[in-house]
Amino acid sequence: MSRFSDWFHRTFDDWFFRSMIGPAQTKGAVQGCDEFAREQWKRDLENRKRFTREQRERKRAEREARRS
């Protein structure tokens, strides 16, 4: 995939899902929903964590490259 395609999917794949479920709630947010929504929530959370890890690794690599 191209960089644009990767960015597009990371940005908008779960946008439709998040827009359907409405604003964030804590009461019964995961336990009180159906299996499909629970799996989507887990996938979205993992995608966000993966993005954060990638950003940390990229910044770490940039710091190491500057030191060398």
Domain that holds residue 60: 3-67
Cα–Cα distance, 42 to 14 (Å, whole number): 11
Q: What is the pLDDT of residue 34?
A: 76
Q: What is the pLDDT of residue 63?
A: 92
Q: In angstroms, what CA-CA distances link 4 with 7, 8, 25, 41, 48?
A: 5, 6, 32, 24, 18
User: Which H or E run includes 5?
Assistant: helix 3-12
User: Which H or E run includes 61?
Assistant: helix 35-67
pLDDT tens, N- to C-terminus, the chain (68 residues): 588 888 877 777 766 666 666 665 555 555 566 778 888 888 999 999 999 999 999 999 999 999 87
pTM for the full model? 0.47
Q: Which residue type sits at 8?
A: F
How many domains would you assign to the chain?
1
Q: What is the pLDDT of residue 60?
A: 95
For the chain, how long is the longest CA-to-CA vector? Answer: 52
